[in-house]
């Protein structure tokens, strides 16, 4: 089923309404859809390199808006579903402690999920459930998703088809290594 969904998503890149399809996929991926918008972006940019940054901009805007939907899902459903479950098990105090810790580091969580292969939708929903500051969530989402989509667009614009394999197979690993080094550097500077 996921393979058919993947193939259908890739086929949208050749459609006349590819930008709209990208916007919808990027929006939904931020809260519920399992296929990342990169899958659609790559063939679109290879087909029209002069539109690379427009395509990245559409993916960024739609993804951040979709992230707000994920935030709302976490915020709204936590109060009606998550809270009562925690209360039933007597664990609401543990969640309050988790919420405080998450909100101390929430911007980093959004940044990590926004640029690495970790599912961004999980963090958008968790950010809403913990009531992470909305301006912090939005700023971190714009930074993370912008970095991810514009790096992909820039590489494809500059190198074209030869860089495609690297992006599809290795870019997630490179982003992950970058984020780990960045966070490690911040922690090192903070505690030294």
pLDDT of residue 139: 96
State pLDDT tens for residues 41-68.
Answer: 888 888 888 999 999 999 999 999 999 9
SS3 142: helix
Distance CA 33, CA 70 (A): 11
Asked if the model's pLDDT at residue 157 lies above 90, the reply is yes
| Residue-wise pLDDT tens digits, 84-115 | 766 777 777 778 888 888 888 888 889 888 88
CB 118 within 8 A of CB 112: yes
Q: Give the model's pLDDT for residue 164.
A: 76
What pLDDT was estimated at residue 160?
A: 87
Q: Which residue has the higher pLDDT, 162 or 133?
A: 133
pTM of the model: 0.80
**pLDDT at site 171:** 66
- Domain of 75, in residue numbers: 2-191
Across all residues in the chain, what is the average pLDDT? Answer: 84
- Does 1 have pLDDT greater than 60? no
Gap between the terminal Cα atoms of the chain? 50
Percent of the chain with pLDDT over 90: 31
The whole-angstrom distance between residue 107's C-alpha and the CA centroid of its chain comes to 13
What's the confidence (pLDDT) of residue 118?
Answer: 77
Query: Does residue 178 register a pLDDT over 70?
Result: no
**Residue 132: its pLDDT value, please?**
93
Dihedral (Cα; 28, 29, 34, 35), 10-degree rounding: 110
* Average pLDDT rounded to a whole number, residues 1-30: 80
| 4 C-beta neighbours (distance < 10 Å), count | 8
Considering 30-34, 163-167, 180-184, 186-190, the range whose residues carry the highest mean pLDDT is: 30-34
- Domain count along the chain: 1
């Amino acid at each position: 089923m996921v393979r058919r969904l993947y193939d259908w998503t890739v086929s949208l890149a050749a459609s006349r309404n590819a930008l709209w399809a990208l916007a919808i996929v990027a929006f939904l991926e931020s809260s519920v859809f399992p296929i990342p918008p990169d899958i659609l972006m790559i063939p679109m940019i290879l087909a029209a390199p002069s539109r690379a940054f427009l395509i990245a901009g559409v993916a960024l805007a739609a993804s951040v808006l979709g992230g707000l939907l994920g935030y709302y899902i976490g915020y709204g459903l936590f109060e009606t579903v998550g809270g009562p479950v925690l209360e039933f098990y007597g664990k609401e105090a543990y969640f309050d402690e988790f919420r405080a810790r998450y909100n101390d580091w929430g911007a980093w969580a959004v940044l990590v999920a926004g640029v690495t292969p970790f599912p961004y939708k999980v963090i958008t929903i968790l950010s809403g459930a913990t009531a992470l500051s909305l301006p912090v969530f939005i700023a971190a989402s714009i930074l993370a998703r912008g970095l991810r989509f514009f790096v992909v667009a820039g590489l494809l614009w500059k190198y074209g088809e030869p860089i495609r394999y690297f992006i599809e197979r290795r870019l997630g690993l490179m982003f992950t290594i970058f984020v780990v080094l960045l966070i490690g550097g911040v922690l090192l500077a903070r505690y030294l």
